[in-house]
Amino acid sequence: MKKDNAVSEVVGVMIMLTITIVIAAVLALAATSMAVGGETPLTAEITAVSVSGDDVIFELISGEPVALSDIRVVLGIREDSTKSVSIPGTDLAPLVSGDTTIFLGDRFTLDIPDGFVSSDEHLTYRFYDTTDRPFASGEIRI
């Protein structure tokens, strides 16, 4: 008479091991999804289109609408990496009067601080959202 007890014990152990691994994977997934903040990063592309006197004109060229109060911009000089200034979005002025939310194709201006940049220098800019994640950057020659 042949005994098949060992086969059923191995199958039982494999099933229990599989269930344990699946439960651990589900718990790990739940834990990592709770650890991630509730805010999604801003997806927008803003570019400098021109310079007019001490103002730089920016345009939203792609992505979702942007509330100016929810962003900030850090300016720098490519030729002098020691110069940097952070400007809150509330200091940006939309070219469409009255609305501080910028939609696709809308433009807004930024007043360059006095003495920050000279002619023939490159002004660098980087936009950050409320979670301090950068979402757009570039440079323009002054």
pLDDT at 35 over 80: no
Q: Shortest CA distance to 64 belongs to which of 44, 93, 84?
A: 44
pLDDT at 3 over 80: no
Average pLDDT, the chain: 86
Structurally, the chain folds into a number of domains equal to 2
- Cα–Cα distance, 99 to 36 (Å, whole number): 32
Q: List the structure tokens of 81.
A: 């990496």
Q: Verify that 64 and 118 share a domain, yes or no.
A: yes
pLDDT at 36 over 60: no
Q: Shortest CA distance to 83 belongs to which of 114, 112, 116?
A: 116
What is the CATH classification number for the domain harbouring 48?
2.60.40.10
Confidence of residue 10 (pLDDT cuts 50, 70, 90): confident
**pLDDT tens column, 129-141:** 988 899 999 999 9
- Cα–Cα distance, 24 to 98 (Å, whole number): 53
Q: Shortest CA distance to 48 belongs to which of 58, 39, 38?
A: 58
Instruction: State the amino acid at position 68 in one-letter form.
Output: L
In percent, the amount of the chain with pLDDT more than 90 equals 49
Q: Verify that 13 and 61 share a domain, yes or no.
A: no
Range in 7-11, 56-60, 73-77 with the lowest mean pLDDT: 7-11
Asked if 68 and 108 touch (Cβ cutoff 8 Å), the reply is: yes
Q: Verify that 67 and 18 share a domain, yes or no.
A: no
Q: Verify that 30 and 50 share a domain, yes or no.
A: no
Please give the residue range of the domain that contains residue 60: 44-141
> Tell me, what DSSP letter sits at residue 141?
E
- Which parts of the chain fold into alpha helices (H)? 5-35
What radius of gyration, in Å, describes the C-alpha atoms of the chain? 27
Q: Residues 32-42: what's their mean pLDDT?
A: 68
**pLDDT tens column, 99-121:** 788 999 999 999 988 888 888 88
